[in-house]
Structure 1
Amino acid sequence: MNAYDASADVVAADSPSAPVAVPVSTDRIIAEKAQGVGRLRLNQPEKRNAISYSMWLGIVEVMKAFEDDPEVRTVVISGEGGRAFSAGADISEFEKNRSTADQIEVYNHATHIAYQTITRFPKPVIARIEGFCVGGGMAVALCADLRIATDDSTFGIPAAKLGLGYSHEHLRPLVDLVGPSFAKEILFTAKRFSAAEAQGMGLVNRVVARSDIEAFTLDYAQTIADNAPLTVRACKMSISELTKDPDERDLSLCREMVDACFASEDYKEGRAAFVEKRRPRFRGC
């Protein structure tokens, strides 16, 4: 063999296996894992996967389980039914859960923790987007590291049509991703934007045909899962720190994570695999 050929080095351990269900306290969230990829699916298709209060709590529950699971190396978040990633928060609950100051505080805390849990997740997170990706649903997608969308997806934040307020903390991921000018356009107009427009703004990384979205996203996730976990985590941490204000950056932690890569068994394995022209088998240590 004169060139690296990953397909020539597939071993039995890498062969497809049935997904394993991950327990979650609400049936409105489906979670499973297979071959290093965790999958979290918003499961309220009759409401375009509008996110209820119990679902916000379920997102945190599942992401923490994936974080603690060494078998999970990357996570894909998606919506069930094909019509929507998520149409945002479940407005039908607002009268019950968001009509008083105390209720708003409790509800906002739940959403804040959910966003924070995804944003600070130490492993790569991909949002697989089909159809509507609006409001709180778009906020969830913005917390992911990568966004892959179908060519018929639509994006928007309709806060200005509902009288809702977004804190500066919740707006920062949008501004960091698309810049102040596009962020203002999205928020001021409250319009829905096409997948092509979203990609032009930098909202999404890739746009693919609806028929290809499942295979394309899983291939991306599997590619990441097969790479050296310590390297991927160190890169994610460093990029995250670089987006912070200079006086808030933990550069010493970034250096420690880079040093850990060079001191790892995976670094030895990567060098050996390159010399031997075979697929590396990374273990995350």
Structure 2
Amino acid sequence: MPNVENQQSDLLVSSLQKGVLTISINRPERKNAMNNAMWREMTTLFERASMDTSIRAVILKGAGDDFCAGADIAEFETLRATAESARVYEAGNSATFAAIRNCQVPTIAAIRGICFGGGFGMAAACDLRISSSNALFSIPAARLGLAYPADAMSDIVNAVGPQLAKYLAFSAARLDPAAALDAGFILEIVEPGGLDMRAAELATVIASNAPLSVKASKASIRAVLSKDANDYARANALGDATFESSDYGEGRAAFLGKRPPQFSGA
């Protein structure tokens, strides 16, 4: 994936050192609300990142003062005006959540300001979430007469637990960072000015480790959560593959030589 950052795009893509890719939602004037084209592009970006062996971690963040306000309500009267069109639109949202959820490399949501609706869904689909102290979380679907698809709700239940997921979905209440931290939805809280630096630091640490090991661990955790036989089989296969990898030899040699390992992902 190219190291490109186009300030005219609604989604900015840039690369850090050591295989860290950053995807920024770039509509700060709309609180980074996602339009239909952006949902489709986001899906493609995560699918490509998942297949790119040079990428070892992905950071998802919002430009400006907010993470994402969810789907752009301005499109509701056109692209979501009928039951049929609403279903098509929702399928596009679900495809994005699935692309993030199924990304083979670790994903980190760096959240500042508003994280509502579909923004909350994208964050929940990420593996790790950190937030600024001024973040605010909500699932306002009940105030719009909508319902979250079950696949997206599974991410939220896994991220916050069933009781809090029910409360957020039923009440459309807003959650502050302290409550989100207590619920386990976010890993840590940082000051707004340090959020990007901390996300990059966390991603760089992950990217410095053995990619095959990290991929196998991600698959194993997914299997534990899903309890799906296919997920267990895939996790076991990925785990077995690490024993035959050159990185396994490099890890042992680095440990014995008391030096930092240099993993190739092979």
Q: TM-score, normalised by structure 1?
A: 0.89
CA distance in 1, matches of 2:50, 2:118: 23
Take 1:209 and 1:250, find their aligned partners in 2: how far apart are those partners? 37
When residues 67 and 99 of structure 1 are mapped into structure 2, their CA distance, relative to the original with a 3 A threshold, is same
The corresponding residue for 1:283 is: 264
Structure 1 counterpart of 2:240: 259
Question: Residues 48, 170 of structure 1: CA spacing in aligned structure 2 closer, same or farther, 3 A cutoff?
Answer: same
**Aligned position for 1:226:** 208
Identity across matched positions, percent: 37
Q: Quick check: 1:39 aligned with 2:27?
A: no
Match of 1:8 in 2: none
- 2:99 is aligned with 1:117: yes
Q: Is the 8 A contact 1:242 1:249 kept in 2?
A: no
CA distance in 1, matches of 2:114, 2:243: 43
Encode CA deviations 1:214-240: one digit per residue, 9 max, x unaligned: 111100000000100000000000111
**Native 8 Å contact 1:75 1:221 kept in 2:** yes
Query: Residue 168 of structure 1: which of 136, 150, 168 is its match?
Result: 150
Does residue 58 of the first structure (1) align with residue 41 of the second (2)? yes
Partner residue in 2 for 1:147: 129
1:1-285 alignment runs, 5 A limit? 20-21=3-4, 27-35=9-17, 36-81=19-64, 83-246=65-228, 248-285=229-266
CA-to-aligned-CA distance 1:85-142 (integer Å, 9 cap, x gap) = 0011100011110001331122111111111000001100000001000111000000
Q: How many pairs align?
A: 264
Aligned partner of 1:10 in structure 2 is: none
d(CA) in 1 for partners of 2:150 and 2:233? 27
**Quick check: 2:35–2:72 contact (8 Å CA) kept in 1?**
yes
Separation in 2 of the partners of 1:225 and 1:100?
A: 44
- Residues in 2 aligned to 1:219 and 1:156: alpha-carbon distance in whole angstroms: 27
Paired letter, 1:258: G
Structure showing greater radius of gyration is 1
Q: Distance in 1 between matches of 2:247 and 2:66?
A: 39
Gaps spanning 5+ residues in structure 1: where? Answer: 1-18
Moved more, 102-111 or 86-95: 102-111
Name the SS of the counterpart of 1:219 in structure 2.
Answer: helix
Letter in 2 for 1:270: G
Is the deviation greater in 150-159 or in 252-261?
252-261
Structure 1 residues 151 and 231, CA gap change in structure 2 (3 angstroms): same
Tell me how large the CA RMSD over aligned residues is: 1.7
Structure 1 residue 22, shift from structure 2 partner? 6.8
What residue ranges of structure 2 are gaps of 5+ in the alignment?
Answer: none
Q: Which has the higher mean CA deviation after the structures are superposed, 201-210 or 220-229?
A: 201-210
Distance 2:175 2:159 in 1: 16
1:89 is paired with a residue whose SS is: coil
- 2 CA distance for matches of 1:245 and 1:237? 12
Q: Any idea what the Cα deviations from partners look like across 1:227-256, whole Å, max 9, x if unmatched?
A: 00000000000111111135x443222221
Instruction: Judge conservation of contact 1:43–1:79 (CA < 8 Å) in 2.
Output: yes
**Partners of 1:166 and 1:214 in 2: CA distance:** 29
User: 2: CA distance between counterparts of 1:250 and 1:41?
Assistant: 30
Partner Cα separation in structure 2 for residue 79 and residue 251 of structure 1? 34
> Which residue matches 1:11?
none
Q: CA deviation at 1:206?
A: 1.1
- In structure 2, C-alpha distance between the alignment counterparts of 1:176 and 1:65, rounded to whole Å: 25
Kept in 1: contact 2:14–2:22 (CA 8 A): yes
